[in-house]
Amino acid sequence: MHKLKALSRTIVQAGAYGPLPERYTVIGVNLMSLAIIAINLTVGPVFYLVTRRWPVLAGSMTEALFIAGIILLNARRLHYAANLLFFLILNWATLYFASILGKDVNAQLMIIWLLGLSLFLFNDLRIQISCIAITGITLFFLELNYKKGFIPALPLKRTSGISCDGPPILR
């Protein structure tokens, strides 16, 4: 357990050098990256085992691989590239998973998080505005797909054990 804790600390602090605000951003991005990788490596296969729908597994493994690259970029002190790619990957993942899983996942809530993330990752106002615009475009295509169905949502049966309705007490 001690070795796992030391490894995770090393990964989270990879590339965290320089002024304090930059260090905190690098550590924050690495920590979020590690959490996203862990979620994708567990939820993706479990979702596949329950539903036998490979697009979720493929998306989660692809996202995990790309996000691992973010930690490597930070370790090489390419912080700006890491932050920008991190932001773009999360916008892509939001659009992808919301499209294949349908309206029930309420991906619009992720848009709010992405807006806040753009302010956390970048100090330059022009870049923040650009990231907000990218998130707005993601939301636009998300809503367009919901209305027009360009990417059809996977058919998920309510009897598959997957429910997006919330706990039974809320139904």
Residue-level pLDDT at 157: 65
Q: Is the pTM of this model over 0.75?
A: yes
Q: What is the mean pLDDT of the chain?
A: 85
d(CA 34, CA 166): 26
pLDDT tens-digit readout, 69-94: 999 999 998 989 999 999 999 999 99
Long-range contacts of 17-25 (CB under 8 A, 24+ apart): 17/77, 21/123, 22/79, 25/79, 25/83, 25/120, 25/121
